[in-house]
Amino acid sequence: MATKNISLGKNVVSDSLEIELYRAMVQLGGGTFRELWDLGYETLILFDSPQTHLTLAVPVSVMSASEVRRRIVESDDFHLFLRDLENHQWARR
């Protein structure tokens, strides 16, 4: 039985087993699954970083738990860099 997942005005009809597979991959990668987003030419899997709570995306074509983990680490590192940079600039004023 197919389930309907609506995201940002786009309808993504996907097999519930497929959604559970993506959910498991995101969880194994350390993220929190949000939804699927159909761009027309590619479907994205949206998930949140547990540290920053930013929503990130991985195309279905490259989806894996290790890809989720890689994107979380990159995003979290960049977020911390920006925060440290901002704190450093405020300290210099």
Mean pLDDT check: name the lowest of 1-15, 17-31, 54-68.
Answer: 1-15
> In one letter, which amino acid is 31?
G
* Residue 68 confidence class, pLDDT cut points 50, 70, 90: very high
Q: How much is the average pLDDT of 68-82?
A: 92
Q: Is the C-alpha dihedral spanning 24, 25, 27, 31 positive or negative?
A: negative
For residue 64, give its domain range. 2-92
The mean pLDDT value for 56-72 works out to: 96
- Over residues 13-33, the pLDDT tens digits come to 567 888 999 999 999 999 999
43-48: strand order across its sheet: 32-38, 43-48, 55-59
Alpha helices in 1-93 (DSSP H): 16-28, 65-92
Total domain count for the chain? 1
What is the share, in percent, of the chain residues with pLDDT greater than 70? 80
CB within 8 Å of 38: residues ≥ 6 apart:
7, 10, 11, 12
